[in-house]
Structure 1
Amino acid sequence: MKILIITCGVGIGHASRSLTLSKILKKHGHETIFASYNAGLHFIHKNNEEVYPIPAMNFQGEDGEIDIEKTVSKSKDIPFTFIKSLIEEYKIIKKTNPDIIITDSDYGAVFVSKILKKPCYIITNDLEFGFSNSTDKRYIKYLEKFIKKLILGISKLADAILIPDIPGSVDVPRKLEDKTHFIGSLIYHDETLTKDDLRRKYGVGVDAKVIVVTIGGSDFGKILIENMCDIAHTLDVDYIYMFTGFEINPDEFKCKVRSNNVIIKQFTYNLVEWMKLSDLTVALAGHTTTMELISIAKPNILIPLKNHIEQQKNIERIKPYNITQTLDINNKDQLKTTINETLKKLDTIKVDEKQHKEFMKYDGCQNTLKIIEENNI
């Protein structure tokens, strides 16, 4: 089958799991093509996949915080952008003529697929879409209610809703329960490669103490990179590898001292391997990052963006595995203290084996493959 994957382009988490799924689909004889925007578009293109650009949806914010009021006030053109997206997705579907459509958190694609009578599957880790907790503005709360109803209505049109996590991890509205499947995470890493193997692969000293930092591909986490640069000389490590993503130029950052021990990169094809070779990973609390850290059972410090309700949920999601600490993104002193204290007790941080075993039972890619083949072949 020819499969069109339309993915949200905010950060690279959605694009990353879509690419992982694509590899499995291709192994089973299917053809995949993509559509996305912003960081997602760049990431898919960097992986040498065929990808069509679609109009971007943007959020406003800075210093580790999403500003909901500013986003809404500057988003008066959202209805126009949404209509442009529908038109562009309609053109892409007509041009590529896929057998089925998979959309990762792009709900307009579901509507278009129904118009064109194409089977459509939604991948999403959040069916509630809350964002108004940070404001008392009544019009924003009304907007939230409207968007929730819109997403619920559009989701009903999908052939199935695929949650890339294990059962019980996400609240599912009663009206969507009959078409929702908990498929497991859409991630991949070579489990045969050890931490030492990966260090030799990437030229990192086997005995070095290493921190890996990632901000998930969007510019909202820029403050975390800046703070890490400021405190790098106070951390008891040999090397700090930081990944900014495509929205940020690594050359913007200057560390006070020990700059030769701090390596800032924009891109890597396999971020989970860098996490695996680290002694400690510091990251924003995106869902794909959370799933990867659980999978490799890596001690970590996860930091949610302010006013990002989904990331706050992801923090609660990972806590039972006993490998995570969290803190405020703007608290530089707490960041320094937490990193150094965590490094001292790494030997005592062990994943909850029962929780981890249950998580690893689910193969999101294989389960997705099974669902779409059973219903379309």
Structure 2
Amino acid sequence: MVHRVYFSVCGEGYGHSSRDMAIANELTRAGALVLMGSYGYVLDRLNKSFNVIEVEREFEMVGNHGSFDLRATISRSKNTAFHISRIIQDEKKAMEDFNATCVVADGRSAAVFAAFKLGIPCVIITNQTSIAPFFNECTFFLRLIGKPVEFTLKTMTALAEEVLIPDFPPPHTVCLNTLSRSHHTMKKQRFIGPAISVNNENERLNAPYDIKRPFILTLLGGHSFRLPIFEGILKIADRFVDLNFVIFTGFRSDKIPGNVRVLEFAEDISPYMRAAELIITQAGHSTAMEILTLGKPALIIPDKGQIEQESNAARMRELGICETLDYASLEPEHLFEKIHTLLSDVRFREKAERYSEMAKKMKGPKKAADIILELSDRILCY
């Protein structure tokens, strides 16, 4: 008998798929068959390594000049709520056609309900078991709308066999402030450690041969509101005479200092992260776990209004492995001071390396795979 594991993956951002791919790779190595369900560019990403099936989007996150717009997100997603029964039925059919023996839901509620209907063991992968932080500073109307969302989250947790948190256990948890304090939820949560695909056993493995070392890596993408970070680095780069800067972004400039390299795309960013002296980036949870697993000091600049990123950044600063900046204080001189502090104070690197060792010992992807296989075996053993 073969373990058949069905993943239902949220297609908003790369974070969900990154950790699911790491776990799925472990399952494949153990001889399990894996089917990935998602949509959009994440589906295309998953299709390069796994068998895939397209599923319908449950909700769409909406931004407003770089800030997360909760009202617009709820408004745009309300029509989907009327079709959730159909989405659940589609997920149920996918599980039946695949003959799934275990289901992994990452950011997808429909998969949890479908698995429950079929009696298939279900595991939730998440770094957030409470949405309360998103509503703390909202109007009464939005807090009222948030109640059924919170109820759905609690129901999902109740129906799942396990809730796997791909993070360090307390007091080292980065996503601590977005986890529920309900005993009903806490008893289901298991901290497995970071679940990332980056191999940190050999730093020179697939190292970027065309980049002069040492270098600072900056990950910006093309969102227009991040332009001040790009411009700030260009203004202060030549003050670091012994360092190079590698910036992944869609931005362009006619005034690029000699020690700055601007790149638009890489199929795999991990070799650059592994080889960098310092990483400048946002604070998505998967990115935070990659930084900690690789043992790299970081300058974290959370996107404005992204409460999860702001929370992650604050926790990473508390853990002593990063400095932070916000857009209100994003001036070239402040940028220079933060980078200089991170490079000159060895405590940041020492603390980051301790977390890297902790991540290696926890073996998050393998731990998650073992839990999934154990649940699947409850079906297969009959």
Q: TM-score, normalised by structure 1?
A: 0.85
Match of 2:336 in 1: 340
Matches within 5 A, 1:65-214: 65-130=67-132, 131-136=134-139, 138-168=140-170, 169=173, 170=176, 171-172=179-180, 173-194=182-203, 197=204, 200-207=207-214, 209-214=215-220
Aligned partners of 2:38, 2:128: CA distance in 1, in Å?
19
Which residue pairs with 1:51 in the alignment?
52
Paired position in structure 2 for 1:246: none
Aligned residue pair count = 356
Quickly say closer, same or farther: Cα 1:276–1:330, change in 2 above 3 A.
farther
**1:369/1:233 CA distance change after superposition, 3 Å:** closer
SS at match of 1:32: strand
Equivalence for 1:369: 369
**Cα offsets for 1:136-177 (capped at 9, x unmatched):** 2x2210121221112101211111111111222333421123
Once residues 200 and 153 of structure 1 are traced to their aligned partners in structure 2, the CA distance between those partners, rounded to angstroms, is 45
Deviation for aligned residue 1:64: 2.0
Secondary structure of residue in 2 paired with 1:373:
helix
Distance 1:373 1:34 in 2: 16
Unaligned runs of 5+ in 1: 244-249
What is the match of residue 310 of structure 2? 312
- Structure 2 equivalent of residue 294 of structure 1: 292
Contact 2:213/2:244 (8 A) holds in 1: no
Q: CA deviation at 1:306?
A: 3.1
Name the aligned partner's letter for residue 133 of structure 1.
N
1:96-125: CA deviation from partner (whole Å, max 9, x where unpaired): 222111111212211011112211110111
Return the TM-score normalized by structure 2.
0.84
SS of residue paired to 1:350: helix
Distance 1:77 1:54, change over 3 A: same
**Aligned in 2, Cα 1:235/1:81: closer, same or farther, shift over 3 Å?**
farther
Q: Structure 1 pair 293/150, CA: closer, same or farther in 2 (3 Å)?
A: same
Q: Which residue of 2 aligns with 1:34?
A: 36
Please state how far the C-alpha of 1:13 moved relative to its aligned partner: 0.6
Q: What is the root-mean-square deviation in Å for CA atoms of aligned residues?
A: 2.5
Q: CA–CA distance in 2 between the matches of 1:238 and 1:290? A: 23
Aligned to 2:350: 351
Return the alpha-carbon distance in structure 1 between the equivalents of residues 254 and 333 of structure 2: 18
The verdict on how the C-alpha distance between 1:326 and 1:232 changes in structure 2, with shifts beyond 3 A counting, is closer
Amino acid at match of 1:263: V
Superposed displacement of residue 233, structure 1: 2.7
User: Structure 2: 5+ residue runs without aligned partners?
Assistant: 238-242, 378-382
Deviation of 1:369 after TM superposition, in Å, equals: 2.1
* 8 Å contact kept, 1:3–1:30: yes
Aligned partner of 2:7 in structure 1 is 5
What secondary structure does 2:362 align onto?
A: coil
Give the SS at the match of 1:76. Answer: helix
Q: What letter is aligned with 2:212?
A: G
- Give the direction of change, closer, same or farther, for the CA distance of 1:59–1:184 in structure 2 (3 Å limit): same
Q: Give the residue type in structure 2 aligned to 1:189.
A: V
Q: Distance in 2 between matches of 1:176 and 1:205?
A: 48
Give 1:51 deviation, angstroms. Answer: 1.8
- AA of the residue aligned to 1:341: E
Output the amino acid matched with 1:264: L
CA distance 1:291–1:304, change in 2 (3 Å): same
Calculate percent identity across the aligned residue pairs: 23
How many angstroms apart in 2 are the aligned matches of 1:214 and 1:50? 30
CA contact under 8 A between 1:54 and 1:89: conserved in structure 2? yes
Stretch moving more, 344-353 or 146-155 = 344-353
Q: Is the 8 A contact 1:159 1:179 kept in 2?
A: yes
Give, in whole Å, the separation in 1 of the partners of 2:45 and 2:360: 26
Give the Å deviation of 1:63.
2.7
- 8 Å contact 2:208–2:272 — kept in the other structure? no
| Residue in 1 that maps onto 2:20 | 18
Determine if contact 1:69/1:135 at 8 Å carries over to the other structure.
no
Task: Decide whether the 8 Å contact of 1:322 with 1:350 is kept in 2.
Answer: no
Q: Distance in 2 between matches of 1:74 and 1:228?
A: 30
Paired residues of 1:184 and 1:359 also in contact (CA < 8 A): yes
Change over 3 Å in CA distance of 1:235–1:199 after alignment to 2: farther
How has the CA–CA distance of structure 1 residues 357 and 340 changed in structure 2, closer, same or farther, with 3 Å as cutoff?
Answer: same
2:127–2:165 contact (8 Å) kept in structure 1: yes
Between stretches 99-108 and 273-282, larger displacement belongs to 273-282
Over 3 Å counting, the alpha-carbon distance change for 1:42 and 1:267 in structure 2 is farther
- Give the secondary-structure state (helix, strand or coil) at the position aligned to 1:361: helix
